[in-house]
């Protein structure tokens, strides 16, 4: 029997780089479809047409006009910028024509109508999946991502025939929970109000739509797939995930190797590769200079880019800050998030202006400059589904210092004596959740940094790893095949 060479895949997400991105999901939705296209798959991406997305999407054609929930909706077609990936945008101006963060009001609170917004999006995806809009295209599999797309498997499960569904958990902490009243207001089918459906202890849970109804569920690293089946990481859903363990797997994210390539990166003061690694130093001094730090080539410069939230272990860093600053190190941080963390970090930067720089905000260019200019990249996450920054940093010859959880545990090879002798080390990993645990890992890094030959060997080992989507996209094809096998044939 010959294998089907090509699936029709509808990839549904609430963000995709470079149209819109708030975190790792955006990176994945912007790069996995392209990798699937490279494997000769017929993949199409579908997103809400937020204001910023429309502005960045280039030329768009209206391919369908319809009404959902008394709202006029248009389906716009274009391409993911810089790629041949076809994109469909669900344009419902009343719900999506808002600038900035897709999920939050300018004041930082979730949009009050998020449940309606992502229900309407799901219903539009279901229409496309059933070819009800006359697009003359029907997917074999609908690949859904995170809670914003959770209703899609739930709505499709009731249809015969239907495409297979895959649901990827990028972060179980975000579940899309709303009061029962919202369920009633949305007028969803009463059958869905059940603990074996969307109800979670009296609340409406969007993510349960994916976890209960998708034919296959996966998360973005093998370790996180195991961890979420335990109470510590399961956010109340570990029981359901254990119940579905036969359909649950972990596939590591790849990275966009074009976007994140120190050899061609236009954000850098100086590009470099494995053969011209010495040029990395130009980026370090540029970063130190731009951030107002002492331009000292020998001080270990620690970089951090990410959301300043509990998940990312910002409190662990703050707890260990004093001890850490007793080492010959500097800190360059970029991020935004919880006000208390922003304030505490800014205060530290004020106290140590030549050693600690903190930029609050979102900056693609500074993120690249920190990856290239820092000596080590810090990720003390409390949990980490996959993590992308440690992959970028290894590629940029910037060994990561990580807490050994989830995707961080799966991708970073610690500088133990054995790994150092075998020349397999790519970074530093620590357990525990105290500031002193992080301090000890950074102290190890700082000591090893003095041994230039060993340090270079660690950098080159990381830079030599293949973090591209190639392997993981193949694994998704196997997952799609498994999902397609699950559909009842009517």
The footprint of ligand ADP (CB under 6 A) covers 23-24, 27, 171, 305-307, 334-336, 362-364, 367, 386-389
State the pairing for strand pair 8-12/42-48: parallel
Q: Nearest approach, Cβ of 406 to ligand ADP (angstroms)?
A: 10
Neighbouring-strand partners of residue 68: 71
Question: Which of 209/400 has CB closer to ligand ADP?
Answer: 400
Point out the residue whose Cβ comes nearest to ligand ADP.
24
- Extended beta strands in 338-465, E state: 356-360, 376-379, 400-403, 428-430
C-beta of residue 399 within 8 angstroms of C-beta of residue 427 = yes
The Cα–Cα gap between 69 and 186 comes to 9
Q: Nearest approach, Cβ of 390 to ligand ADP (angstroms)?
A: 8
The Cα–Cα gap between 429 and 413 comes to 7
Question: Which of 205/253 has CB closer to ligand ADP?
Answer: 253
Question: Which of 44/382 has CB closer to ligand ADP?
Answer: 382
The Cα–Cα gap between 309 and 326 comes to 25
Question: Which of 193/362 has CB closer to ligand ADP?
Answer: 362
Q: Nearest approach, Cβ of 287 to ligand ADP (angstroms)?
A: 14
Q: Could you tell me how many residues make up the chain?
A: 490
The Cα–Cα gap between 303 and 14 comes to 29
- Rg of the chain over CA atoms, in angstroms? 23
The secondary element (H helix, E strand) that includes residue 87 is strand 86-91
Q: Nearest approach, Cβ of 199 to ligand ADP (angstroms)?
A: 27
Long-range contacts, stretch 195-199, CB < 8 angstroms, 24+ apart: 197/154, 198/151, 198/154
Q: Biggest alpha carbon distance in the chain?
A: 69
Question: Which of 165/389 has CB closer to ligand ADP?
Answer: 389
**C-alpha count within 13 angstroms, C-beta hemisphere, residue 6:** 9
Question: Which of 153/407 has CB closer to ligand ADP?
Answer: 407
Question: Which of 217/220 has CB closer to ligand ADP?
Answer: 220
Q: Nearest approach, Cβ of 337 to ligand ADP (angstroms)?
A: 9
Question: Which of 183/304 has CB closer to ligand ADP?
Answer: 304
Q: Nearest approach, Cβ of 376 to ligand ADP (angstroms)?
A: 16
- Determine phi and psi for 430, rounding to 5 degrees: -135, 155
Q: Nearest approach, Cβ of 155 to ligand ADP (angstroms)?
A: 26
DSSP states along 196-220: TTTEETTEEEHHHHHHHH-SEEEES
DSSP states along 149-172: GTHHHHHHTT-SS--EEEEEES-T
Q: Nearest approach, Cβ of 3 to ligand ADP (angstroms)?
A: 32
Q: Nearest approach, Cβ of 351 to ligand ADP (angstroms)?
A: 22
Q: Nearest approach, Cβ of 393 to ligand ADP (angstroms)?
A: 10
The Cα–Cα gap between 419 and 253 comes to 24
C-beta of residue 373 within 8 angstroms of C-beta of residue 296 = no
Give 465's DSSP letter. S
* Residue 256: CB atoms within 10 Å: 21
The Cα–Cα gap between 83 and 76 comes to 17
Question: Which of 16/154 has CB closer to ligand ADP?
Answer: 16
Question: Which of 26/163 has CB closer to ligand ADP?
Answer: 26
The secondary element (H helix, E strand) that includes residue 248 is strand 248-250
Q: Nearest approach, Cβ of 394 to ligand ADP (angstroms)?
A: 13
**C-alpha count within 13 angstroms, C-beta hemisphere, residue 99:** 3
Question: Which of 88/224 has CB closer to ligand ADP?
Answer: 224
């Amino acid at each position: 029997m010959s294998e089907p060479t090509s699936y029709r895949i509808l990839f549904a997400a609430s963000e995709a780089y470079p149209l819109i991105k708030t975190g790792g999901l955006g990176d994945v939705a912007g790069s996995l479809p392209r990798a699937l296209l490279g494997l000769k798959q017929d993949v199409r991406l579908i997103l809400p047409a937020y204001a910023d997305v429309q502005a960045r999407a280039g030329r768009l054609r209206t391919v369908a006009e319809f009404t959902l929930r008394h709202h006029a909706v248009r389906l716009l077609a274009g391409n993911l910028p810089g790629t041949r990936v076809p994109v469909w945008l669900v344009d419902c101006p009343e719900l999506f024509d808002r600038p900035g963060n897709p999920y939050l009001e300018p004041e930082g609170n979730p949009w009050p109508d998020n449940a309606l917004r992502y229900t309407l999006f799901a219903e539009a995806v279901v229409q496309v999946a059933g070819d009800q809009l006359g697009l003359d295209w029907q997917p074999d599999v609908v690949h859904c991502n995170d809670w914003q797309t959770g209703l899609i498997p739930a709505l499709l499960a009731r249809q015969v025939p239907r495409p297979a569904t895959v649901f990827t958990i990028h972060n179980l902490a975000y579940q899309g929970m709303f009061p029962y009243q919202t369920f009633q207001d949305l007028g969803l089918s009463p059958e869905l109000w059940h603990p074996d459906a969307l109800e979670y202890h009296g609340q409406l849970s969007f993510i349960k739509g994916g976890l209960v109804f998708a034919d296959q569920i996966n998360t973005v690293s093998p370790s996180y797939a195991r961890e979420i089946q335990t109470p510590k990481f399961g956010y109340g859903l570990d029981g359901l995930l254990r119940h579905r363990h036969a359909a649950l797997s972990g596939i590591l994210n790849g990275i966009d190797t074009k976007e994140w390539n120190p050899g061609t990166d236009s954000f850098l003061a100086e590009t470099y590769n494995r053969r011209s690694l010495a040029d990395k130093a130009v980026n370090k001094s540029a970063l130190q200079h731009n951030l107002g730090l002492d331009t000292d080539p020998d001080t270990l410069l620690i970089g951090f880019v990410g959301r300043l939230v509990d998940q990312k272990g910002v409190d662990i860093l703050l707890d260990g800050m004093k001890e850490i600053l007793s080492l010959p190190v500097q800190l360059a941080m970029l991020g935004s998030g919880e006000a208390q963390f922003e304030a505490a970090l800014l205060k530290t930067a004020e106290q140590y202006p030549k050693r600690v720089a903190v930029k609050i905000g979102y900056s693609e260019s500074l993120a690249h400059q920190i990856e290239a200019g820092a000596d080590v990249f810090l990720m003390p996450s409390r949990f980490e589904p996959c993590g992308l920054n440690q992959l970028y940093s290894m590629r940029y010859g910037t060994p990561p210092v990580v807490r050994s959880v989830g995707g961080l545990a799966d991708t970073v090879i610690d500088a133990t004596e054995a790994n150092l002798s075998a020349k397999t080390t790519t970074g530093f990993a620590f357990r525990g959740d105290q500031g002193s645990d992080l301090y000890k890992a950074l102290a190890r890094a700082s000591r090893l940094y003095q041994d230039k030959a060993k340090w270079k060997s660690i950098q080159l080992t990381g830079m030599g790893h293949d973090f591209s989507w190639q392997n993981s996209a193949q694994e998704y094809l196997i997952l799609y095949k498994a999902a397609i096998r699950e559909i009842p044939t009517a």
